[in-house]
Structure 1
Amino acid sequence: MGIIHLWLGLLSMLIVVNVCVTGCLYAFKNQFSEFVNREKIFVSENSKRKTVDEFQQMLSKNGSDLKSIMIPADGNRSFVISYTKNDVDFTAFFNPYSGENLGAPNVGNTKFFETVLDLHRNLMMGNVGRQINGAGVLMFCILLFSGFILWIPKKWKQLNQSLTVKFNGKFQRINYDLHNTLGFYSFLVLFFIAVTGLYITYPWVKNALIVSMGGDSISQISTSSEEDNSAFDNLFNDMLNRQKEKAQNVEKPVSLQKILDETQKILPYNAVTTLELPNKDNPRFMVTKINTDNFLGAMLPDQISFDKKGNLKSQELFWDKPLNKQFTSLAKPLHTGEILGLKSIIFYFIISLIGFSLPITGFIFWFNKLRKAL
């Protein structure tokens, strides 16, 4: 285990440092964007918000077509509205009380975070970099396991020593304790972050995780069976229904507020709500609510669709999905730490900083031993 830990650590050190640093930076993308756009995002809370129908009418008078509207759960935040005018797409913040267009979001930081994400995913080297990154993270998973084996005290009386850092010791001792102790405290979360990252990179990891949660493997999905045929028939019928709905002419447009009211009856909780209007690709109204009404406050998506007449067509509620599909829908926020909002992002940030430090403290420990041996 010591030999495996040493060589895999040397081989993957730069990859792990890069992934952890870029992950730390990218985790705060939304918070940084909110800070830059704070004057447009936060508004003075008033007595009553304008309805979505009023916003649609206001845009229509201006020669614009509403595409989607994001309604925050908090009353002191502005609406985010996407619309089309003269075949050009726009997204802007709107005051929910006065209806004032507060302007488009400032995207000056977008290029920076795109570069950070490119480094995080594939070292800015396309698919080749993605494979190198994947190999490095796979080594890191083995490193975490071998590190845990090496951490296990040989005697129970040494357990306290393995769980604490002796800050009054010499530099070499402090460095070793930081590597050994912080590695133990963080290895489970780091392993989880690494595996969810591999889920995105390698199909075989995705397949293994889905199967372990009760889903069908990729090879089994193509196998013909009565159940598969039934699922295919349902999918085919849904596609046919959508095609019919595209050709459907509605004399009187359905009220958007009615859509939201019907959604509230099915999902009776206060949450961030996004309403997408029918378009050339999708003939239905799509309403997505982010449910945080649970013990941990995790952000769980519920989605409902309506046809052009306002009739309920489908509902995909998070708690009704099987475990494998629940994980699939949450894979990204579980990997980034966004699942619990700012508190989990900060927690992931601290864990990623520890992950960043492990290759450095490990290299220093190895280099000191090598220098003494020479």
Structure 2
Amino acid sequence: MTFKNFIKKVHLWLGLSSGLIVIILGITGCLYAFEEELRPIVHDYYYVDQVKSQKLPISRLLEIAQEKNKKINPNQILSGCRTISDDKRTVIIWFFEELDKDAVWYWNRYQSTYFYMDPYTGNIEEIEDYNFEFFVFIRMLHQTLCLNSTIGDPIVGTATIIFIISLITGLVLWWPKNKQAAKQRFWFRWKNTTQWKRKNYDLHNIMGFYMMIFALILALTGLVWAFECYDKGVQWLFNGGKTYEREKIVSDTSQYNQNNPADKIYAATKQLEPNAKSYYLFLPKADDSLAVFQTFVRYENRFNDVSMQFDRYTAKPLKITTYDDKNNGEKFRFINYDLHVGSILGFPGKVLAFFASLVCASLPVTGFLIWWGRNNKKKKTPSKEKTVK
């Protein structure tokens, strides 16, 4: 067997073994690429009916949501809230409860409820079962095939590694022997008489070639969520072989105060970062007296995002972390999601990620049709020769 024939075999069987999962990942990647833009369009409860002059305090909105959720989900814990600078947007408050960490499906592992509230009146516009929201379902199908992460991550990660090898072996097979052959592999040269098998072959080879770099970026950044060792290894590499321990910030229990510091912390966060796109408040667990109150400030440009930690009892700022404060490994990890979905280049980057995902989903299909066509050729029946007597 020649080297090229060996590569063909490897490319074929790896493609067939991972094809179905790659199709699922590609299609869900397409759907999720514009998640941020589509959510406000498909969910009318993201907006209030009327903008007024005065908003209710965050603490009051939290109280209203807690009172309501105790009646429908008494075991869920208040986890956080998000406010958006757009005055027309509702405030989002969410609750969380771990059900069964060993469950097979992700929706049986935990339960989360999201409240969308009018910040002016306190009216609850929508109570959303987070696990079955459309884009959440698409993301979980993309990330773990809707399985428990301990099961789904290795499956998706392994299929992704196989896909990476398939891309490399595909490039080896695509590589032309000479300039004349190269002309046929850089663009479509279809005619009216071109058969569908040739068109399918060109779609597989030419589109695969042009999208290879982007497909590799999608695959390599996706592996960060699949394998913890890969995630740590990439950060270790960017840190030049160094491992950094995270500094643990704790609250001062001697300064215990029963008053809810949410309003004070929210005001302090907005004062420090007045031009942010949205503000996240992550509430500490009630049974962890040392846990701090954390906020996250989101901008249009991710490099401007800021995370803050406050003392849960005094609302005193304990640590403020900007992008520049992170080590190189943390910087890469911070922008990994934006690289994966293309948002690091703005809307054009998302469009590019969309088409790259679409091509990734098509490669197993066109590849299978090539293999099927070659193994199911119609045998030509030999013409009967007339015998001369």
TM-score normalised by L of structure 1: 0.74
Match for 1:311: what amino acid?
A: K
- Aligned residue number for residue 203 of structure 2: 178
- Pair 46,61 (structure 1): closer, same or farther in 2 beyond 3 Å: closer
Q: CA deviation at 1:271?
A: 1.5
2:103 matched residue in structure 1:
none
The verdict on how the C-alpha distance between 1:276 and 1:18 changes in structure 2, with shifts beyond 3 A counting, is closer
Among 48, 70, 75, the alignment partner of 2:87 is 75
The alpha-carbon distance between structure 1 residues 166 and 97, as it changes in their structure 2 partners (threshold 3 A), is farther
Pick the structure with greater CA Rg. 2
Per-residue deviation at 1:145?
1.4
Q: What SS does the aligned partner of 2:320 have?
A: strand
Query: Is 2:276 the partner of 1:270?
Result: yes
In the aligned structure 1, how far is the partner of 2:148 from the partner of 2:267?
48
What is the aligned counterpart of 2:163 among 140, 148, 163? 140
Report what 1:11 is aligned to. 17
Contact 2:343-2:350 at 8 Å conserved across structures: yes
Match of 1:248 among 227, 230, 255: 255
Alignment of 1:297-312 (within 5 A): 298=302, 301-307=305-311, 308-312=313-317
Q: 1:245-302 CA deviation, whole Å, 9 max, x = no partner? A: 245323766572x434433454353211112344423643322111223xxxx47642
Q: Is the 8 A contact 1:274 1:288 kept in 2?
A: yes
Supply the distance in 1 between the matched residues of 2:134 and 2:66 (Cα, whole angstroms): 31
Partner SS for 2:81: strand
Indicate how the Cα distance of structure 1 residues 322 and 342 shifts in structure 2: closer, same or farther if over 3 A, else same: same
2:239·2:328 contact (CA, 8 Å) conserved in 1?
yes
Q: Which amino acid aligns with 1:309?
A: T
Structure with higher helix content: 1
2:295 to 281, 287, 290: 287
Q: 1:161 to 1:206 in 2, by over 3 A?
A: same
Note if 1:150 corresponds to 2:178.
no
Instruction: Could you tell me which runs of 5 or more consecutive residues in structure 2 were left unpaired when the two chains were aligned.
Output: 1-6, 69-77, 97-111, 380-389
1:56, CA displacement in angstroms? 2.3
Residue 82 of structure 2 aligns to a residue in which SS?
A: strand
Per the TM alignment, residue 309 of structure 1 is displaced from its structure 2 partner at its CA by 2.0
Q: Is the 8 A contact 2:81 2:91 kept in 1?
A: yes
SS in 2 for 1:162: coil
Distance 1:347 1:96, change over 3 A: farther
**Percent of matched pairs sharing the same residue:** 26
- Residue 81 of structure 1 aligns with an amino acid whose one-letter code is I
Q: CA deviation at 1:60?
A: 5.1
Q: Could you say which residue in structure 2 is the equivalent of 1:224?
A: none
Deviation of the 1:364 alpha carbon: 1.8
Which whole-Å deviations, capped at 9, do the CAs of 1:68-92 have from their partners, x for residues lacking one?
43111322211113489xxxx9642
Task: Output the CA distance in 1 between the equivalents of 2:378 and 2:237.
Answer: 46
SS in 2 for 1:287: strand
The CA distance in 1 between the partners of 2:143 and 2:259, in whole Å, is: 49
Counterpart mapping for 1:199-210 below 5 A: 199-210=224-235
SS of the aligned residue for 1:17 comes to helix
How many residue pairs align between the two structures? 344
Amino acid paired to 1:8: L
1:117 corresponding residue in structure 2: 140
Deviation (angstroms), 1:355: 0.8
Which amino acid in structure 2 is aligned with residue 80 of structure 1?
I
Cα deviation, 1:142-182, whole Å, max 9, x if unaligned, reads 11112223333333455453232234332122111111111
Structure 1 residue corresponding to 2:354, chosen from 332, 349, 352: 349
2:220 to 195, 205, 222: 195
Partner of 2:99: none
Q: What value does the CA root-mean-square deviation take over the aligned residues?
A: 3.9
Change (3 A) 1:101 1:214: same
Q: TM-score, normalised by structure 2?
A: 0.72
Amino acid at match of 1:250: N
| Mapped partners of 2:148, 2:262: distance in 1 | 48
Name structure 1 gaps, 5 residues minimum: 222-227
Superposed counterparts of 1:330-341, under 5 Å: 330-337=335-342
Using the alignment, how far apart are the partners of 2:21 and 2:272 within structure 1? 46
CA distance in 2, matches of 1:364, 1:135: 23
- Matching residue of 2:325: 320
CA contact 1:291–1:301 (8 Å) conserved in 2:
yes
Judged with a 3 Å threshold, the aligned counterparts in structure 2 of structure 1 residues 268 and 57 are, in CA distance, closer, same or farther, namely closer
Q: Does 1:56 align with 2:59?
A: yes
